[in-house]
Amino acid sequence: MYFKIYYFKKIQSTNNHAIKMIKNNHLKGIILADEQTKGRGRQGNKWISLKGNLFMSLFFKIKQNVSIKRITIKNTGKIKKVLQKFCKKKISIKLPNDFLIEKKKICGILQETIFHNNQKFLIIGIGANIKKSPKILGYPTSHLEAYSSKKINKLTICRCIKKEYEKKN
């Protein structure tokens, strides 16, 4: 499966834009943005989108009867595999959607499903702290470059995630 990347300087939400694209009959793709003004997290929480970090959403058709638990395990595994290439410390997953290093959040995903034209689509929003970490009361955060010996490029991470999802498996 090949994914085309749709790049935006500034966008409200990569997941919201993916929903619009699905409703305009796009079957798959990746939305990538430099800046999000209304990023979303789980349960209606706001995603703090600091400049220099990664904001992207993948979307594609899925089988209607697939379980969200199975999808979550598969997707967190793929994203962890990619992120782990960029840092020396072990990344752990706090299900359903947080990626931690030394108990500090470095990434989160927001998975959503929608139906359009009798087909089910999955949207995976990925927010990764690459260069900066937001200050969140009661929730320690960090960023990937704090655990790397080199600068990390968000486009490189996006391309690695794209490649991981394009693999046959």
Number of domains, the chain = 1
Confidence category of residue 119, pLDDT binned at 50, 70, 90: very high
Highest mean pLDDT among 44-53, 73-82, 136-145 belongs to 73-82
Strands 119-128 and 5-11: unpaired
Which residues constitute the domain of residue 40?
5-166
d(CA 45, CA 161): 24
Residues 6 or more apart from 37 whose CB is under 8 A from it? 10, 11, 12, 49
> Per residue in 49-102, pLDDT tens?
768 899 999 999 999 998 888 999 999 999 999 999 999 899 999 988 899 999
Q: How many Å from the N-terminal Cα to the C-terminal Cα in the chain?
A: 11
Supply the pTM of this predicted model: 0.92
- Residue 113: other Cβ atoms inside 10 A: 13
> Per residue in 1-19, pLDDT tens?
899 999 999 999 999 999 9
Mean pLDDT over 124-134 rounds to: 92
Q: What CATH number is attached to the domain comprising 13? A: 3.30.930.10
Residues of the chain with pLDDT > 90: what percent? 75
Q: Indicate whether 26 pLDDT > 70.
A: yes
Confidence category of residue 157, pLDDT binned at 50, 70, 90: very high
